[in-house]
């Protein structure tokens, strides 16, 4: 009960009773809420134990009370665990930020895989053709993120070519 009272006191600002804007729960607070909820299941079950056992109906009551009292749980249900009543639950969705996105957009999964192996230290990789080898070389070792323009088609005037080379046209950062 002390933790709840402390949390309530933190929400109230000053003597005016103004409340702070609610904050999104941090990863740590969600983990803490989950642990508190799981511990509450154990405490709640103890109230219903008869000769060290609990009935299915009583386990359902435990599940309902825990879901009501602990909003971290989006669902909780009682399942037959052979010798026990098990509580299956879902918790609020979370988000974990992953690693930085790959900057270059490779033309195929094979080229992406070869680039990954080279970045991990491989000294030799095999690709299907020279075009893929050029894409790897230009993308990784020239470092400008060039992409193959095969299939863009059309003859270019010298003015269009100059504009592309200077980066004023949509084909900047390409090769053929």
Give tens-digit pLDDT for 17-38.
Answer: 444 545 555 556 888 999 999 9
Residue with tokens 């607070």: 29
Residue with tokens 């879901």: 67
35-47 residue pLDDT tens: 999 999 999 999 9
110-137 residue pLDDT tens: 999 999 898 898 889 999 999 999 888 8
14 within domain boundaries: no
Number of H helices, E strands in the chain: 6, 6
96 within domain boundaries: no
CA 172 to chain centre: 33
CA-based radius of gyration for the chain:
30
Q: Which is higher by pLDDT, 172 or 39?
A: 39
Q: What is the band of 16 on the pLDDT scale with cuts at 50, 70, 90?
A: very low
137 within domain boundaries: yes
Q: Which of 91, 120, 138 is the last residue of a domain?
A: 91
Question: Does residue 126 contact residue 140 with C-beta atoms inside 8 Å?
Answer: no
46 within domain boundaries: yes
pLDDT for 84 equals 93
Task: Of 128, 93, 92, 90, give the one whose Cα is nearest residue 110.
Answer: 128
154 and 115 in one domain?
yes
160 and 123 in one domain?
yes
Q: Which two tokens stand for residue 5?
A: 């009272």
50 within domain boundaries: yes
82 and 31 in one domain?
yes
Residue with tokens 């992953």: 98
Q: What sign results for the dihedral spanned by CA atoms 153, 158, 163, 164?
A: positive
7 within domain boundaries: no
13 within domain boundaries: no
Mean pLDDT of the chain: 76
163 and 121 in one domain?
yes
Q: Which of 91, 117, 142 is the last residue of a domain?
A: 91
124 within domain boundaries: yes
The tally of domains found in the chain comes to 2
Q: Domain of 75?
A: 23-91
Q: Which of 65, 91, 117 is the last residue of a domain?
A: 91
């Amino acid at each position: 009960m002390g933790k709840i009272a402390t949390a309530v006191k933190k929400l109230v600002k000053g003597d005016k009773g103004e409340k702070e804007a609610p904050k999104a729960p941090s990863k740590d607070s969600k983990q803490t809420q989950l642990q508190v909820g799981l511990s509450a299941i154990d405490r709640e079950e103890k109230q219903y134990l008869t000769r060290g056992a609990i009935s299915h109906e009583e386990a359902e009551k435990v599940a309902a009370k825990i879901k009501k009292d602990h909003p971290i749980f989006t669902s909780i249900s009682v399942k037959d665990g052979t010798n026990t009543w098990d509580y299956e639950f879902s918790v609020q969705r979370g988000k974990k930020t992953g690693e930085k996105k790959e900057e270059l957009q490779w033309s195929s999964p094979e080229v992406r895989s070869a680039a990954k192996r080279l970045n991990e230290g491989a000294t030799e990789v095999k690709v299907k053709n020279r075009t893929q080898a050029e894409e790897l070389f230009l993308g990784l070792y020239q470092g400008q993120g060039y992409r193959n323009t095969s299939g863009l088609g059309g003859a270019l005037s010298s003015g269009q070519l100059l504009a592309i080379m200077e980066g004023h046209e949509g084909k900047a950062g390409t090769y053929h």
